[in-house]
Structure 1
Amino acid sequence: MATRSAGTRVTRIAMWSGPRNVSTALMRSFGARADCAVVDEPLYAAYLAATTLDHPGRADVLASQPTHWSAAVTGLCQPLPAGRTLQYEKHMAHHLLPEVGRGWLGQVTNAYLIRDPAHVVASYAKVRGEPTLDDLGYPQQVEIFRRHGGPVLDSAALLRDPAGQLRTLCAELGIDFDDAMLSWPPGRRDTDGVWAPHWYAAVEQSTGFAPYRDVPASVPAHLAHLVVAAQPYYDELAAHRI
C-alpha cells in the first residue's frame, strides 16, 4: 500500500517467506536500492517471546526488538529516513502467530516468496530435526494471500532469471525496477538483525543471487508426510506466481 508522509509517497512492502529460502538475498537486493529502507524480521522477538523457543542468540534478539507484536507493528509505521520512499519488510511467515493482529496487513503491500516444499523440508531437516507445518509458513502465507492478494515470487524462478523476475515483481508492486537490485557489496549491514552471525554467513559473502542448482531434494523418510501436508498450500500460491 502506498501512503503519503509529509507530501512524499511511501510504499511499504511486507514480503512473506518461509525458512530455508533466499529471503535474505532478496532483502539484500532491495537494500541495494538508494530509495529503500529495509527491516529485517521485525516480528522475530515477539515470536520468540510468545513461543519460548530457544533459538541461537535468543537473548540478543529479545533485547534488540519489541517483544510484543503490536509494538513491532507500530515501529513499521514510522517515517522513513530522508530520501527513502520505499520500505521493504522481510518477514518470516511463521512469525505470524495466531495471536498477532491482522488489521495492519491491509495497510501494506503484501508479497510472497515461496519454495518447493520438498526442498524446504530437506534443508530445514539439517538444522532442525522435527519441523512442523506451521514452522514452514505455508498456511500463514496462504491466509494472507486469500485476504489481501499480492505478487507471488518463486525462489527457483528468481535464481534462474533474477533480472526478469525482479522486473516483473517491481511492476506488480507498483514501483520502478532498479538495476542496483541485481548486485550488492559483500559484508554485514547495519540493518541486519542481531541474529546475522548465526545465519547470514553465506549471504555476507555474496555479491548477487547465486546460480540456480537443479538438485533433487533429499527428504528424510520420517518427514515425507510434511511435504505432503505443505504441497496444497504451495500449489495454491504457485498458481499465482509471476
Structure 2
Amino acid sequence: MATKQDPIVVDGNEIRKDPQSVLTQMCDRLDLPFTDKMLSWPTGLKSCDGVWAKFWYSDLHSTTGFRPPSGIKITENDIPMEHIPFYREVLPYYQKLLSHSIRA
C-alpha cells in the first residue's frame, strides 16, 4: 500500500553516532515524546525479549547504552563469492532506504 508519507528509516551507524538526535527526530516524526530513558537500559534479560533473545541479544544484554559505530566499512571484497550476486541485487534497494534515513 503506497502512502505519501516518507518512511522512517534508522541506520545503525547514525543512531550509534548520536542516539539522542536520531531518537528525538524519530519521536518527532511519530508524534511521540522523547525521554532520556530511551538512551540507556539495565543489563540482562528482559521479560519482553522472547524466545530468540539468547541468539540475537547477547551484546544488548551486556550493555547499558548505545556504543559508538565501529568504523568498519564492509565492501564487496568482504562478501563470500557465492553471495556477491545477491549483494549486488539488493544494494540499490539498501541505498534507496539509506537515502531516507534519519541523520545524526
**TM-score scaled to structure 1, two decimals?**
0.38
Q: Secondary structure at the match of 1:206?
A: coil
Equivalent AA in structure 2 for residue 223 of structure 1: H
Equivalent AA in structure 2 for residue 225 of structure 1: P
Match of 2:38 in 1: 181
Match of 1:240 in 2: 100
Q: Which runs of 5+ in 2 are unaligned?
A: none
Q: Distance in 2 between matches of 1:182 and 1:232?
A: 31
Shift of 1:221: 2.0
Shift of 1:176: 1.0
Off by >2 Å, runs of 4+ in structure 1: 146-150
What aligned pairs does 1:212-223 form with structure 2 within 5 A after superposition? 212-217=69-74, 218-223=78-83
Match of 1:46 in 2: none
Q: Secondary structure at the match of 2:72?
A: coil
Q: Which runs of 5+ in 1 are unaligned?
A: 1-145
Which residue of 64, 69, 91 corresponds with 1:207? 64
Equivalent AA in structure 1 for residue 32 of structure 2: I
Q: Distance in 2 between matches of 1:161 and 1:188?
A: 25
Q: Distance in 1 between matches of 2:47 and 2:18?
A: 28
CA offsets, 1:37-96, max 9 Å, x none? xxxxxxxxxxxxxxxxxxxxxxxxxxxxxxxxxxxxxxxxxxxxxxxxxxxxxxxxxxxx
Q: Distance in 2 between matches of 1:195 and 1:223?
A: 25
Shift of 1:178: 0.6
Higher relative contact order (CA 8 A, sep 6+): 2
Q: Distance in 1 between matches of 2:99 and 2:54?
A: 36
Equivalent AA in structure 2 for residue 147 of structure 1: A
Give aligned-pair identity as a percent: 34
Match of 1:147 in 2: 2
Which structure has the highest strand share of the two? 1
Q: Distance in 2 between matches of 1:219 and 1:162?
A: 29
